[in-house]
């Protein structure tokens, strides 16, 4: 029997609708409209699409979206100066510098320059530390979205074996911490893990976030496992695909996310959720 498809578009639409309601209530209560400012350096086509989608999601939820476009020749000092201005602007509640930035700009310095309370991507080292220690912070949007999906699908995590393939700061590491916080037993794997196939086959929940097209085969999956595919790749035919061989995996798993239409829509939904939560915390801190 084929696995149930986890519909990321539908779950994301539900989250976005909830944020829209909460935003209306927040504006009515405080007189403050949450504001996200997105900074785009250069003209990367994929980044332009992402930024446009983020702007539309904000608008639909009643969140003010500002976009600042900078030329690819912008210096690191100029970008850091702009971030300092946005940090000081009380009307801006969320700051997002669209990555990647041009090569002459140090990405880490840019991330660290954003005020932690306005870091709606959840990448600042202080927010990473709060996540690690169980404090209140903006959570990285993709892992946060995956947790929402698992919750929506009623997937039990307590005492289960969760395997995360990939160790990036954006997905793999925070994903593992969030699963651990829900009492799963977590293994983090990567391309150099010995007998990766055997480790994956032990997973009740398998999260693939390694960036290799269809690397995880159906034979790697434990019968009845829940499979979350974070990958966004092109296969040999140029077709969009994930890190999991979907057709094979679907015959073994109990639930699986498709690519596209799985994890992707959740990332933007959680970004607007983070923006609203950041605005709520900032307004409360000033009261």
Catalytic-residue membership of 54:
yes
Q: Which pLDDT value is given to residue 3?
A: 96
Q: How many CB atoms lie within 10 A of CB 143?
A: 29
Catalytic-residue membership of 9:
no
Q: Map out the domains of the chain with their CATH numbers.
A: 30-116 (3.40.50.10860), 141-264 (3.40.50.720)
> How confident is the prediction for the chain on average, in pLDDT?
96
DSSP string covering 26-39: HHHHHS---EEEEE
The active-site residue out of 119, 121, 229, 243 is: 121
Q: What is the pLDDT of residues 209-261, one digit of tens each?
A: 999 999 999 999 999 999 999 999 988 888 899 999 999 999 999 999 999 99
The active-site residue out of 54, 118, 222, 255 is: 54
Q: What is the pLDDT of residues 60-101, one digit of tens each?
A: 999 999 999 999 999 999 999 999 999 999 999 999 999 999
Q: Which pLDDT value is given to residue 271?
A: 97
- pTM equals 0.95
Catalytic-residue membership of 273:
no
Distances (CA, A) of 156 to 87, 162, 173, 208: 40, 11, 20, 18
The active-site residue out of 7, 48, 89, 98 is: 98
Q: Is 123 in contact with 147 (CB distance < 8 Å)?
A: no
Q: Which pLDDT value is given to residue 1?
A: 67
CA distance 148 to 209: 17
Backbone dihedral region of 122: left (phi > 0), alpha (psi from -120 to 50 degrees) or beta? left
């Amino acid at each position: 029997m084929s696995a149930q498809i986890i519909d990321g578009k539908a779950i994301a639409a539900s989250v976005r609708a909830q944020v829209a309601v909460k935003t209306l209530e927040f504006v009515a209560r405080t007189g403050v409209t949450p504001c996200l400012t997105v900074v785009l350096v250069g003209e990367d086509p994929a980044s332009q699409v992402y930024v446009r989608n983020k702007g539309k999601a904000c608008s639909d939820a009643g969140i003010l979206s500002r976009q600042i476009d900078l030329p690819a020749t912008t210096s690191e000092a100029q970008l850091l100066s702009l971030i300092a201005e946005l940090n000081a602007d009380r009307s801006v509640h969320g700051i997002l510098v669209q990555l990647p930035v041009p090569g002459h700009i140090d990405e880490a310095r840019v991330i660290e320059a954003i005020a932690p309370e306005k870091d709606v991507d959840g990448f600042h080292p202080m927010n990473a530390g709060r996540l690690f220690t169980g404090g209140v912070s903006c959570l990285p949007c993709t892992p946060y979205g995956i947790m929402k999906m698992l919750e929506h699908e009623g997937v039990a995590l307590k005492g289960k074996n969760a395997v995360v393939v990939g160790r990036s700061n954006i997905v793999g590491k925070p994903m593992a911490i969030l699963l651990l916080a829900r009492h799963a037993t977590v293994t983090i794997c990567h391309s150099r893990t010995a007998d990766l196939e055997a480790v994956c086959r032990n997973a009740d929940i398998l999260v693939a976030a390694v960036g290799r097209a269809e690397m995880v085969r159906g034979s790697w999956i434990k019968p009845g496992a829940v499979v979350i595919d974070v990958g966004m790749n092109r296969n040999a035919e140029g077709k969009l695909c994930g890190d999991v061989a979907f057709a094979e995996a679907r015959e073994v798993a109990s639930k699986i996310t498709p690519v596209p239409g799985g994890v992707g829509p959740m990332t933007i939904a959680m970004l607007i959720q983070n923006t609203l939560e950041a605005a709520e915390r900032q307004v409360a801190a000033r009261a």
